[in-house]
Amino acid sequence: MIQTKKLCGAMLALLCSLSSMAAKNDTTRRTNWIMEHDSVMMATRNTQDDTTRMVPTALSLSVREAQDYAVQANRSLRNASLAVQQAYAARWQTIAAMLPQVDASYSYSNYCGYSASLSMGGASMTINMPNQGALGVTASVGINGQAIVGVLLQNLAIDMQRLSLEQSEDNLRANVKTSYISILVLENVVKLLDSSLENVNEIIDMTQRTVEFGVNEQTTADQIAIRANTLKNNIQSQKRSIELATNSLKVLLDVPAETQLTLTSSLDELLSGDEVLALLGEEFIKEHNMSYRQLEKNFEIAKLNVHMAGWAYGPTIGVGYNYTNQQYYGDGGMRMTPPNVVQVSLKLPLWSSGKRAAAVVEKKIALEQARNTLAETTDQLNIQYQQLRFNLQNAYETYLTEQENLEVVNRVFRSVSNKYRFGTNSNLELINASNDVISAQSSYVQAVLTLINAEVELDKFLK
């Protein structure tokens, strides 16, 4: 009994040691990661009943606050967090299967007064069969190499789920930032169009008076009125786009549609050239890249799968202990079952017709494929880094150009409008200037969105 306990304790210590060895290379990184993402875990644990979560009717958020709020509230991210916890539970199931298993049982037998008769050499004997009860306790533990490798694979599975959670958070933050800035850009465009429409309306009033005095024809006033209607339609279209972007942001924040959102960050602050230049100057470290880290884990999994297949040749060691307490309720009965039994077993696989050997070959081929994929991806990542830097630099230069163009066409439009009031410009020049404003604002919006997407993609790539 004492030796069995010592053996179980030694096996438990071995399992703990193996688990520690598998994780020692990245313990610090994991600890820091958990501390940084503990808010996600807490949010998951504290929001099991989603109907009880209190959502404010109005939110005033900067872009950073919006990102943090989404991380706390978004259901998809909470699911990714739950997947990490599932991986931990699965690992413990694998470990527990190698630890002692204890079962208890009790049985009661009533023979209804039956007595057994034995006859030998003309002599007979009657043996009473009293009622009996039996209490049994069984303890067993079994371990082999495949089970230990299975624990190490579960450690990698946890790492993969953590990477998936981290990637989900990065994507969520990027989407929140994009939606947030889209709203600010569209609101800025609406202000510019409102200003242009106000000028056009003043020109319409002035032109209509000149028509009444016979200085201009009604056709001229109608053409300018058409331009005003075009501006109105464009403004309404941009407002609908603002509503759509706002609803998209509410979905990411996981708040009801009726929640009032106030965005406190300014567009100039978010489109700072300093951030773009700092990002362009950041060095690419492949070990920080999400794709590389995932492929690296896949490579480690492939290596452990080779060991798993190889351990199919290994022995399985089992230790068991059985305690039985048999009690008779009456006279007679024969106690032939020993109360204490200790069993030790050793199982050795001898012949499988090449099945195990083929499994090892298969896993080695998969390992070579994973090695080639990792090497190929490393080369591709360097090229992708250069392309993303080029995209960001080009997008930033385009943004500066379109921003300047928008300011220029607005100045031209105001100048043409003033000259039209004094009769030095024609209505055709006014209409063309108005068209330039609409075209410039469309190009500006596209340039901003392209810049944000390029900045987000490079930022995610470098993480």
CATH number of the domain within which 252 lies: 1.20.1600.10
Among 18-22, 32-36, 402-406, the range with the most confident prediction by mean pLDDT is 402-406
End-to-end CA distance of the chain: 54
The residue-averaged pLDDT of 343-358 equals 89
Check if the beta carbon of residue 129 is closer than 8 Å to that of residue 114: yes
Task: Please give the pLDDT value at position 188.
Answer: 85
Question: What CA–CA distance (Å, rounded) separates 345 from 409?
Answer: 88
Reply yes or no on whether the pLDDT at 334 is more than 80: no
Percentage of residues of the chain with pLDDT beyond 70: 86
Identify any residues that bridge with 136 across adjacent strands, giving them in sequence order: 105, 324
Reply yes or no on whether the pLDDT at 430 is more than 60: yes
Return the DSSP state at 262: E
Q: Within a domain: residue 173?
A: yes
Task: Please give the pLDDT value at position 364.
Answer: 94
More confident residue, 4 or 386: 386
Q: How confident is the model over 82-122, as pLDDT tens digits?
A: 999 999 999 999 898 888 999 999 998 887 877 777 777 66
Task: Please give the pLDDT value at position 158.
Answer: 93
Q: How confident is the model over 289-306, as pLDDT tens digits?
A: 888 999 999 999 999 999
Identify any residues that bridge with 108 across adjacent strands, giving them in sequence order: 133
Task: Please give the pLDDT value at position 14.
Answer: 39
Q: How many CB atoms lie within 10 A of CB 389?
A: 19
Q: Within a domain: residue 326?
A: no
Cα 81 to chain centroid, rounded: 7
Among 7-16, 305-314, 425-434, the range with the most confident prediction by mean pLDDT is 305-314
Q: Within a domain: residue 45?
A: yes
Structural domain that includes position 52: 28-101+141-314+351-462
Q: Within a domain: residue 115?
A: no
Identify the band that residue 77 occupies on the pLDDT scale cut at 50, 70 and 90.
confident
Q: How confident is the model over 201-253, as pLDDT tens digits?
A: 877 787 777 777 676 677 777 877 887 888 889 889 989 999 999 999 999 99
**pTM, 2 dp:** 0.71
Task: Please give the pLDDT value at position 268.
Answer: 81
404-433 b/e (C-beta count within 10 Å ≥ 16 → b): ebbeebbebbeebbeebeeeebebeebbeb
Task: Please give the pLDDT value at position 405.
Answer: 92
Task: Please give the pLDDT value at position 55.
Answer: 66
Q: Within a domain: residue 325?
A: no
The two structure tokens encoding residue 348: 């050795």
More confident residue, 268 or 384: 384
| Residues recorded for the chain | 463
Beta strands (DSSP E) in 18-129 are: 58-61, 101-109, 115-120, 123-128
> Among 1-15, 301-315, 328-342, which is the least confidently predicted range?
1-15
Identify the band that residue 332 occupies on the pLDDT scale cut at 50, 70 and 90.
low
- Cα-Cα-Cα-Cα torsion 90, 93, 97, 99, nearest 10 degrees, comes to 130
Cα 126 to chain centroid, rounded: 75
Q: How confident is the model over 122-149, as pLDDT tens digits?
A: 677 777 778 888 899 999 998 888 889 9
Task: Please give the pLDDT value at position 390.
Answer: 94
Q: Is the dihedral of CA 356, 361, 362, 366 positive or negative?
A: positive
Reply yes or no on whether the pLDDT at 20 is more than 70: no
Task: Please give the pLDDT value at position 338.
Answer: 84
Reply yes or no on whether the pLDDT at 308 is more than 60: yes
Q: What is the mean pLDDT of the chain?
A: 81
Task: Please give the pLDDT value at position 389.
Answer: 92
Q: Within a domain: residue 357?
A: yes
Task: Please give the pLDDT value at position 25.
Answer: 43
Question: What CA–CA distance (Å, rounded) separates 97 from 13?
Answer: 15
Q: Within a domain: residue 320?
A: no
Identify the band that residue 6 occupies on the pLDDT scale cut at 50, 70 and 90.
very low
Task: Please give the pLDDT value at position 215.
Answer: 61
Q: How confident is the model over 28-76, as pLDDT tens digits?
A: 444 344 434 444 444 444 444 454 556 678 889 999 999 999 998 888 8
Reply yes or no on whether the pLDDT at 15 is more than 70: no
Number of domains in the chain: 1
Q: How many CB atoms lie within 10 A of CB 371?
A: 13
Q: Within a domain: residue 133?
A: no
